[in-house]
Structure 1
Amino acid sequence: MIPRTIIAAHLARSTTLRASFAYPSCVSRTAVRCFINSRGSSCETQQRSYSGSTSAAQSEKETITKLLYNIGSRKEVEQYLRHFSSVESQKFAVIKVGGAVLTDELDTLTSAITFLNRVGLYPIVLHGAGPQLNNLLEKAGVVPDYHDGIRITDEKTLEIARKVFMAENLKLVESLEKMGTRARPLPGGVFTAQYLDKERYGFVGKITGVNKEVIEASIRAGALPILTSLAETPSGQILNVNADVAAGELARVLEPLKIVYLNEKNGLYNGETGKKIDVINLDEEYEDLLKQPWVKYGTKLKIKEIKELLDHLPRSSSVAIISAGHLHKELFTDSGAGTLIRRGFKLFHHNSLQQLDKDRFRKIMEREDPTVKSGQISVSSYLHQLENSKEGFKAYGDEPYEVLAVVRNNDEAGSGVPKLDKFIATKAAVLNNVTDNVWALLSKDYPALTWEVDENDANKGWHFDKAEGSFTKGGKTLFWKGLSDIGTIEKVVSNFLDSQSKRAVNAATSGGSFAAGQRRSFSTMKQASRSLAVGSRRMFSTSTSSQRDVKKIGLIGARGYTGQELIRLVNNHPSLEISFVSSRELEGKPLEGYTKSSINYVNLSAEQVKEKTKSGEVDAWILALPNGVCKPFVEAVESIEEGRKMVLCDLSADFRFTDSWTYGLPEFNRAKIPGATRISNPGCYATGSQLAIRPLLSHLGGAPSIFGVSGYSGAGTKPSPNNDLNNLTDNLIPYSLTNHIHEREVSHHLGYDVNFMPHVAPFFQGISLTVNMPLNKTMTAGDIRELYEVAYGDEKLVHVIKGVPWVKENSGKHFARIGGFGVHSSGKRVVVVATIDNLLKGAATQAVQNLNLALGLGEYTGIPLD
Structure 2
Amino acid sequence: MSSKLLVSLKGVKPARLQGIASILAANHSPVNRVIQTGTKRVGYSKRCVSSVSGVGTEGTRSTVVQLLNNIGSKREVEQYLKYFTSVSQQQFAIIKVGGAIISDNLQELASCLAFLYHVGLYPIILHGTGPQVNGRLEALGVEPDYIDGIRITDERTMSVVRQCFLEQNLKLVTALEQLGVRARPITSGVFTADYLDKDKYKLVGNINGVCKDPIEASIKAGALPVLTSLAETVSGQTLNVNADIAAGELARIFEPLKIVYLNEKGGIINGNTKEKVSVINLDEEYDDLMQQSWVKYGTKLKIKEIKELLDFLPRSSSVAIINVQDLQKELFTDSGAGTMIRRGYKLVRRSNLGEFPSPDSLRNALQRDPDIASGAESAASYLRNLSSSQFVSYSDEPMEVLAIVKENSLVSQLEKFLCSKVGWLNNVTDNVFSSLKRDFPSLQWVVREDDENISWHFGKSEGSYLKNGKVLFWYGVKDLNTVSQLVKDFSASVAPTTSPAGHKSNAFSSSQSTRSYSTRSAPKPQGVNKEKARVALIGARGFTGRNLIALIDQHPHLELAHVSSRELKGKKLEGYSKGEIIYENLSVDDLKRLEAEGGVDMWVMALPNGVCKPFVEAIESVKGKSKIIDLGADYRFVPETEWAYGLPELNERQKIAAAKKIANPGCYATGAQVAIAPLLEFITGLPTVFGVSGYSGAGTKPSPKNDPAFLSDNLIPYSLTNHIHEREISTRMGREVAFVPHVAQWFQGISHTISIPIKKGSLTSEQIHELYEKFYEGERLVKVTEDVPLVKSISGTHGVLVGGFKVNDAQDRVVVCAAIDNLLKGAATQCLQNINLALGYGEYDGIPENKIAQK
* TM-score bracket, shorter-length normalisation: 0.5 to 0.7
* AA of the residue aligned to 2:436: L
- Out of 446, 468, 471, the position equivalent to 2:465 is 471
CA–CA distance in 1 between the matches of 2:450 and 2:286? 38
Amino acid at match of 1:163: Q
CA RMSD of aligned residues (A): 3.4
Instruction: Answer whether contact 2:266 2:322 (CA < 8 A) is retained.
Output: yes
- Residues 36-93 of structure 1 show CA distances to partners (whole Å, capped at 9, x for unaligned) of 99998622699xxxxxx99321122111111111221111111111101111111000
Q: SS at 1:162's partner residue?
A: helix
1:141 Cα shift? 2.6
Change (3 A) 1:528 1:89: closer
Equivalence for 2:331: 331
**Is 2:418 the partner of 1:424?**
yes
* Residue in structure 2 matched with residue 446 of structure 1 by the alignment: 440
Mapped to 1, the partners of 2:489 and 2:273 lie a distance apart of 42
Match of 2:427 among 430, 433, 446: 433
Deviations 1:673-701 (A, max 9, x none): xxxxxxxxxxxxxxxxxxxxxxxxxxxxx
- C-alpha separation in 1, matches of 2:416 and 2:32: 44
Please name the residue that 2:106 is paired with. Answer: 106
CA distance in 2, matches of 1:527, 1:330: 18
2:400 to 399, 402, 406: 402
Distance 1:39 1:441 in 2: 60
Counterpart CA distance in 2 for 1:93 and 1:39 is 38
Contact 2:27 2:108 in 1 (8 A): no
1:460 is aligned to 454
Q: 2:489 is aligned with what amino acid?
A: N
Inter-CA distance 39–408: structure 2 relative to 1 (3 Å threshold): farther
Instruction: Label 1:4 to 1:90 Cα distance change in 2 as closer, same or farther (>3 A).
Output: farther
Measured after TM superposition, the shift of residue 375 of structure 1 is 2.5
Indicate yes or no: 2:490 matched with 1:496.
yes
Structure 1 residue 405, shift from structure 2 partner: 0.3
Residue in 2 that maps onto 1:348: 348
Which residue of structure 2 aligns with residue 779 of structure 1? none
Aligned-partner Cα distance in 1 for 2:138–2:38? 41
- Written as runs of structure 1 = structure 2, the 5 A alignment for 1:705-744 is none
The 1:534–1:442 alpha-carbon spacing in structure 2 relative to 1, beyond 3 Å, is farther
Per-residue CA deviation, residues 352-372 of structure 1 (Å, 9 max, x unaligned), is 223233346425435412222
Partner of 1:807: none
Q: Partner of 1:253: helix, strand, or coil?
A: helix
CA distances 1:536-568 after superposition (whole Å, capped 9, x unpaired): 9xxxxxxxxxxxxxxxxxxxxxxxxxxxxxxxx
* One-letter identity of the residue aligned with 2:399: Y
8 A contact 1:402–1:426 mirrored in 2: yes
1:37–1:178 CA contact under 8 A, matched in 2: no
Q: Determine if contact 1:24/1:71 at 8 Å carries over to the other structure.
A: no
Q: Residue in 2 aligned with 1:719?
A: none
The correspondence of residues 251-262 of structure 1 with structure 2, limited to 5 A, is: 251-262=251-262
Cα deviation, 1:507-543, whole Å, max 9, x if unaligned, reads 99xxxxxxxxxxxxxxxxx99983434989xxxxxxx
CA displacement at 1:34 relative to structure 2:
7.5
Give 3-state SS (helix, strand or coil) of 1:368's partner.
coil
Instruction: Tell me the SS of whatever aligns to 2:87.
Output: coil
Supply the distance in 1 between the matched residues of 2:148 and 2:498 (Cα, whole angstroms).
Answer: 72
In structure 2, the partner of 1:482 is 476
Indicate conservation of the 8 Å contact 2:27/2:111, yes or no: no
The range that moved more, 368-377 or 59-68, is 368-377
Change (3 A) 1:295 1:428: same
Task: Kindly indicate whether residue 197 of structure 2 is the aligned counterpart of residue 190 of structure 1.
Answer: no
- Structure 1, residues 573-624: CA drift from partner, whole Å, max 9, x if none? xxxxxxxxxxxxxxxxxxxxxxxxxxx99xxxxxxx9x99xxxxxxxxxxxx
Structure 2 counterpart of 1:261, one-letter code: Y
SS of 1:422 mapped into structure 2: strand
User: Quick check: 1:452–1:476 contact (8 Å CA) kept in 2?
Assistant: yes
Quote the Cα distance in structure 2 between the aligned partners of 1:301 and 1:32.
46
Q: Give 3-state SS (helix, strand or coil) of 1:380's partner.
A: helix
Change (3 A) 1:45 1:366: closer
The 1:377/1:214 distance shift into structure 2, 3 A limit, reads same
Q: Aligned partners of 2:333 and 2:451: how far apart in 1? A: 18
TM-score scaled by structure 1? 0.54
- Does the aligned pair in 2 maintain the 1:362–1:379 contact within 8 Å? no
Q: What is the CA–CA distance in structure 2 between the aligned matches of 1:430 and 1:159, rounded to whole Å?
A: 48
Which residue of 1 is the match for residue 794 of structure 2? none
Using the TM superposition, give the Cα deviation of residue 426 of structure 1 relative to its aligned residue in structure 2, in angstroms.
0.6
Please give the per-residue CA displacement for 1:763-795, whole angstroms capped at 9, x wherever unaligned. xxxxxxxxxxxxxxxxxxxxxxxxxxxxxxxxx
Q: How many residues align?
A: 497
Structure 1: tracts of 5 or more residues without a match: 9-21, 47-52, 509-525, 537-599, 602-608, 613-866
Change (3 A) 1:429 1:34: farther
In structure 2, do the counterparts of structure 1 residues 68 and 186 end up closer, same or farther at CA, with 3 Å as the change threshold? Answer: same
> Match of 1:192, SS?
strand
| CA distance in structure 1 between the partners assigned to 2:277 and 2:144 by the alignment | 33
How far the C-alpha of 1:381 sits from its partner, in A, is 2.3
CA distance in 2, matches of 1:94, 1:234: 25
Report what 2:144 is aligned to: 144
Q: Alignment partner of 1:477: what SS?
A: strand
Contact 2:26–2:107 (CA under 8 A) maintained in structure 1: no
Q: Distance in 2 between matches of 1:84 and 1:507?
A: 30
| Higher alpha-carbon deviation: 358-367 or 126-135 | 358-367
Q: Which residue of 1 aligns with 2:209?
A: 209
Q: Provide the secondary structure at the position in 2 that maps to 1:532.
A: coil
Structure 2 residue aligned with 1:132: 132
Counterpart mapping for 1:213-252 below 5 A:
213-252=213-252
Displacement of 1:219: 0.8
In structure 2, the CA distance between the partners of 1:506 and 1:437, relative to structure 1 (3 Å rule), is closer
Q: CA deviation at 1:348?
A: 1.8
| Secondary structure at 1:337 match in 2 | coil
Say which SS state the counterpart of residue 393 (structure 2) adopts.
Answer: strand
User: Aligned pair in 2 of structure 1 residues 363, 90: CA closer, same or farther (>3 Å)?
Assistant: farther
| Contact map agreement 2:33 2:43 (CA 8 A) in 1 | no
Distance change in 2, residues 1:507/1:147 (3 Å): closer
Q: Is the 8 A contact 2:32 2:45 kept in 1?
A: no
CA distance in 1, matches of 2:108, 2:64: 16
How far apart, CA to CA, are the structure 2 residues paired with 1:281 and 1:431?
14
Q: Which residue number in structure 1 is paired with residue 515 of structure 2? A: 532
Q: Give the direction of change, closer, same or farther, for the CA distance of 1:119–1:154 in structure 2 (3 Å limit).
A: same
Distance in 2 separating the partners of 1:262 and 1:63: 25
Aligned-partner Cα distance in 2 for 1:153–1:308 = 26
Report the TM-score, using the length of structure 2 for normalisation.
Answer: 0.54
- Match of 2:412, as an amino acid? P
> What's the CA shift for 1:173?
0.3
**Structure 2 gap ranges (5+):** 9-21, 47-52, 501-508, 520-612, 615-620, 624-855
- Separation in 1 of the partners of 2:323 and 2:39? 26
2: CA distance, partners of 1:223 / 1:528: 40
In structure 1, what residue type is equivalent to 2:106? L
Contact 2:356 2:362 in 1 (8 A): no
Q: What CA distance in whole angstroms lies between the structure 1 residues aligned with 2:125 and 2:517?
A: 43
Tell me the CA shift for residue 145 of structure 1: 1.9
1:420 is paired with a residue whose SS is strand
CA distance in 1, matches of 2:187, 2:517: 54
Superimposed CA distance per residue, residues 417-441 of structure 1 (whole angstroms, 9 cap, x where no aligned partner): 1111000011011011110110111
CA deviation after TM superposition for structure 1 residue 29, in Å: 6.8
CA distance 1:158–1:33, shift in 2 (3 Å): farther
Specify the alignment match of 1:118 in structure 2: 118
Equivalent AA in structure 2 for residue 43 of structure 1? G
Aligned twin of 1:548: none
1:746 equivalent in structure 2: none
- 1:627 aligns with none
Distance in 1 (alpha carbons) for counterparts of 2:144 and 2:498: 77
DSSP 3-state at the match of 2:337:
coil
